[in-house]
């Protein structure tokens, strides 16, 4: 693996992996039946779509494609217990994790239940990241018991809280667990445990977000109450934000949920989301816009999954990372624009501070790795500094993974323990790697590509060594070189208005349905390319040799060092996404260039 150090930015040499050929006859048949370009038919077949009906469901998602929520293990128990609480006037506490998935899930459940439950009988609770840590806490259980809450609905956590649920049972507090993380061998003895990853759960789709599981609960309740299903569908904007921010696959049921959630967000964002968008400099014109003058000058464009990931998610997350995540829930629940604006302004300030913190810590971490030969040459990164801010170490882990492309764990001090966030690379299950060290951990949980853990200080050295040994034994050298998966090779002449119009219908894009990567050879500068952003990036104007009619604008981040060769009209090959660029109220086609090779 080649790593070039340029102003503390690491440029990793990337392997291009061209997708395997697909059945030509199948492609031709699909192309003819749909009336589309064969290149587009290839993209469909690569996504497992092989006939007209499957293509129709893909291009035209329908809410009828959602599964019956009662197929989920314990759903009947959950609805029975929730109905009993509602009928008997019990106090209900909605308890969620402090990240975007947890806070959107809490907002979703609260928004729905407040229509049926006296406001004095319902409240929400978000654990403090620093005082209570991840998941169900003893403090949270005591709060519920001491304040007369007979039922707690816990969201985006709880699947491994066996001992804490036993404690809750002793205190007379029932729990309905709505989680989507991988369980241990023992399932908590709660009133109901909703998690499609349970080995004994036959629910057809296994990749729901935590908010998605909460959505299933209110769907089931709505069915039991005989309420109009539209009341539930009006909550899909929360689910879309959770799907994007939690980086769950946008396949199957999640793709339907994200598709319709985005429609809601684009049609009429909630006041809290609207306020967040304003601070992200995306002004929307809606029926309840704050001022007519602002509406008239609004930049109007459709929100995408990327917007939710990079603009909305970090701002909602910022409150929980640095202060109280309950402010994020209040923002999501806000019904008044002035109130939402005050909350969004405060949270936006926290997000700015968060960026400063994670940039500073990332720089420190990179310097530590560079200064340590053993760390530089390791197959994994396990790095610790007791002074790092716990709220941003997950972001730092992601940045280090991008820099060195290897499984990474960033650790800091939290009380008497060391706590950390883990991020992985393609084809490596970091949850299993951490699980192999579970005997010396106090707690861990998560997914294949992201996890959290805590351990006693005296076990840090042993954990680092065992984790590195596991990684070294389970990864080949090639695995430590980033890959760029290329869907299809084509010429610029293939990029027609009809092609782009149909390609847009492949969205929403995300894990499991990534935006297609195209490869085009013999590309040259059309005469207007330039280096921008202190010469770090390239603003391209390109065409193929021998074809001056098809000229495309492009952007290539972190490729500014290639400008001179491109300016000299040296031919090159590019891999890119085709996307729309919005600038000063105008929409133009743009190639988002992922890599360049001469």
pLDDT in tens, 33-51: 999 999 999 999 999 999 9
CB of 102 closer than 8 Å to CB of 157 = yes
Instruction: Tell me the per-residue pLDDT of 172-184, one tens digit each, with 9 for 90 and over.
Output: 999 999 999 999 9
Q: Which residues belong to CATH 3.90.1640.30 in the chain?
A: 61-233
Residues whose CB is less than 8 angstroms from the CB of residue 216 and which lie 6 or more positions away in sequence, other chains included: 69, 72, 75, 178, 194, 208
CB of 550 closer than 8 Å to CB of 544 = yes
Q: How far apart are CA 67 and CA 202, in angstroms?
A: 12
The gap between the terminal CA atoms of the chain, to the nearest Å, is 19
Query: Would you say domain 61-233 falls under CATH 3.90.1640.30?
Result: yes
Q: How far apart are CA 287 and CA 496, in angstroms?
A: 35
Can you give the pLDDT at residue 296? 33
Q: How far apart are CA 534 and CA 274, in angstroms?
A: 33
Can you give the pLDDT at residue 301? 75
Q: What is the pTM of this model?
A: 0.89
Can you give the pLDDT at residue 2? 33
Q: How far apart are CA 340 and CA 338, in angstroms?
A: 5
Q: Which residues belong to CATH 3.10.310.30 in the chain?
A: 372-480
Q: How far apart are CA 192 and CA 153, in angstroms?
A: 10
Can you give the pLDDT at residue 1? 34
CB of 309 closer than 8 Å to CB of 245 = yes
Can you give the pLDDT at residue 289? 46
Can you give the pLDDT at residue 586? 80
Can you give the pLDDT at residue 12? 63
* Cβ neighbours around 549 below 10 Å, total: 8
Q: Which residues belong to CATH 2.40.50.460 in the chain?
A: 3-60+484-597
Q: What is the DSSP string of 317-380?
A: HHHHHHS-THHHHHHHH--SHHHHHHHHHHHHHHHHHHHHHHHHHHHHHHHHHHH-HHHHT-SS
**455-466 as b/e, with b when 16 or more CB fall inside 10 Å?**
beeebbeebbeb
Query: What six digits make up the tokens of 37?
Result: 């370009």
Beta-strand pair 91-96/149-155 = parallel
- Under-50 pLDDT residues of the chain: 1-10, 286-299
- 485 burial (CB, 10 Å; 0-12 / 13-18 / 19+) is middle
Q: How far apart are CA 214 and CA 205, in angstroms?
A: 14
What is the fold, at CATH topology level, of the domain defined by 3-60+484-597?
Answer: OB fold (Dihydrolipoamide Acetyltransferase, E2P) (2.40.50)
CATH class for the domain made up of 372-480: alpha beta
Quote the crossing angle between the two packed helices 162-170 and 138-146, to the nearest 10°.
Answer: 20
**240-252 as b/e, with b when 16 or more CB fall inside 10 Å?**
bbbbbbbbbbbbb
Reply yes or no: is the peptide bond before residue 508 cis, omega within 30 of 0: yes
């Amino acid at each position: 693996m080649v790593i070039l150090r340029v102003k503390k930015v690491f440029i990793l040499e990337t392997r291009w992996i061209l997708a395997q050929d697909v059945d030509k006859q199948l492609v031709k048949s699909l192309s003819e039946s749909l009336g589309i370009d064969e290149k587009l038919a290839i993209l469909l077949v690569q996504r497992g779509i092989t006939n007209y009906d499957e293509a129709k469901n893909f291009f035209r998602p329908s809410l009828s494609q959602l599964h019956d929520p009662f197929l989920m293990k314990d759903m009947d128990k959950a609805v029975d217990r929730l109905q009993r609480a509602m009928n008997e006037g019990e106090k209900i506490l909605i308890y969620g994790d402090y990240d975007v998935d947890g806070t959107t899930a809490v907002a979703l459940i609260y928004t729905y239940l407040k229509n049926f439950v006296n406001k004095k009988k319902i409240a929400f609770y978000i654990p403090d990241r620093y005082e209570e840590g991840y998941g169900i806490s003893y403090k949270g259980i005591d709060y519920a018991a001491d304040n007369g809450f007979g039922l707690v609905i816990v969201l985006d956590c709880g699947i491994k809280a066996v001992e804490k649920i036993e404690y809750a049972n002793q205190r007379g507090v029932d729990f309905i667990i709505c989680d989507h993380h991988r369980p241990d061998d023992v399932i908590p003895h709660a009133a109901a445990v909703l998690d499609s990853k349970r080995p004994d759960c036959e629910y057809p789709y296994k990749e729901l977000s935590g908010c998605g599981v909460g959505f299933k609960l209110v769907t089931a309740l709505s069915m039991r109450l005989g309420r109009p299903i539209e009341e539930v569908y009006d909550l899909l904007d929360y689910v879309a934000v959770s799907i994007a921010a939690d980086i769950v696959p946008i396949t199957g049921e999640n793709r339907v949920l994200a598709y319709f959630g985005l429609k809601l967000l684009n049609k009429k964002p909630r006041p809290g989301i609207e306020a967040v968008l304003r601070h992200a400099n995306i002004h929307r014109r809606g029926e309840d816009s704050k001022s007519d003058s602002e509406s008239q000058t609004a930049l109007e464009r459709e929100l995408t999954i990327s917007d939710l990931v990079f603009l909305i998610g970090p701002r909602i997350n910022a409150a929980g990372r640095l202060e109280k995540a309950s402010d994020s829930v209040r923002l999501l629940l806000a019904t008044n624009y002035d109130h939402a604006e005050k909350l969004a302004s405060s949270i936006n300030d926290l997000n700015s501070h968060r960026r400063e913190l994670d940039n500073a810590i990332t720089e420190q971490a990179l310097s530590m790795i560079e200064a340590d030969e053993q760390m530089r040459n390791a197959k994994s990164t396990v790095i610790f500094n007791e002074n790092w801010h716990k709220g941003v170490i997950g972001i730092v882990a992601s940045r280090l993974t991008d820099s060195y492309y290897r499984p990474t764990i960033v650790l800091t001090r939290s009380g008497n323990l060391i706590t950390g966030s883990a991020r992985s690379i393609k084809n490596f299950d970091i949850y299993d790697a951490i699980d192999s060290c579970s005997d010396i951990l106090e707690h861990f949980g998560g997914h294949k590509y992201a996890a959290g853990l805590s351990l006693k200080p005296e076990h840090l050295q042993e954990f680092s060594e065992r984790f590195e040994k596991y990684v070294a034994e389970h990864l080949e050298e090639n695995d430590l070189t980033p890959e760029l998966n290329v869907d299809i090779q084509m010429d610029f002449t293939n990029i027609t208005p009809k092609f782009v119009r149909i390609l847009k219908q492949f969205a929403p894009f995300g894990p499991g349905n990534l935006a297609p990567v195209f490869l085009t050879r013999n590309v040259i500068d059309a005469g207007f390319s330039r280096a921008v952003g202190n010469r770090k990036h390239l603003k391209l104007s390109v065409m193929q040799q021998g074809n001056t009619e098809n000229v495309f604008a492009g952007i290539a981040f972190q490729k500014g060092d290639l400008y001179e060769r491109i300016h000299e009209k040296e031919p090159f090959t590019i891999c890119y996404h085709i996307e729309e660029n919005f600038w000063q109220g105008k929409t133009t086609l743009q190639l988002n260039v992922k890599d360049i090779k001469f």
